[in-house]
Amino acid sequence: MTEAERIIGTPDTPEDSGERASAPAPRTGRGRRIAVLFAVAAFAYALDLGSKLLVVAKLEHHAPIQLAGDLLELHAIRNPGAAFGFGAAFTIIFTVIAVAVIVVIVRLSRKLYSFPWAVALGLLLGGALGNLTDRIFRAPGVFQGEVVDFIAPRGFAVFNLADSAIVCGGILIVLLSFRGLDPDGTVHKD
């Protein structure tokens, strides 16, 4: 036995002797995918927060602004419920759901190797944080705050940019699932 073999050791099993070298290399790029997730979330959150600050300062308690004829208007309202004004009596439950979604996304990010999933989860995270910020910091009180909605297409419910991010993220997740792409980057065929 040479000095190097004595210090390093010799392979004891076939797996150690050479088969280990043929094993697939560990995946790289997870850190970049996590950075994409949090960058998309920060961008969506910043757009939502900035738009709501502007709406509250310039549009609340004023007449709606018509855009594209009568197809779209900016109309500030406060929404105590979920999307489309449903469940106004359950504001605290929606707050808990938003917190749970954020926790699940952060935990899932540890296994994230897919760029499209990073974008989708980033949109969900940014949207959830945007509406959660309203629930925590807006009247009538902590965890009961009303969400600022202001985008009002004709014949549709009033919503905000956080809602848009959540819906876009959800649609992207459905499309990725139909294509068989998992958050860890693997593709499965069902």
91-108 helix and 115-137 helix, angle to the nearest 10 degrees: 150
Q: Both tokens of residue 65?
A: 């602004």
**Integer angstrom CA distances of residue 82 from 46, 89, 95, 101:** 21, 10, 10, 14
112, 34 contact by CB (below 8 A)? yes
115-137 helix and 30-58 helix, angle to the nearest 10 degrees: 40
For residue 159, the 8-state DSSP code is B
For residue 61, what are the contacts with CB-CB under 8 A and spacing of at least 6?
A: 76
d(CA 136, CA 159): 18
30-58 helix and 161-179 helix, angle to the nearest 10 degrees: 150
Give me the amino acid identity at 121.
L
| Chain centroid to CA 104 | 10
Known catalytic residues are 149, 163
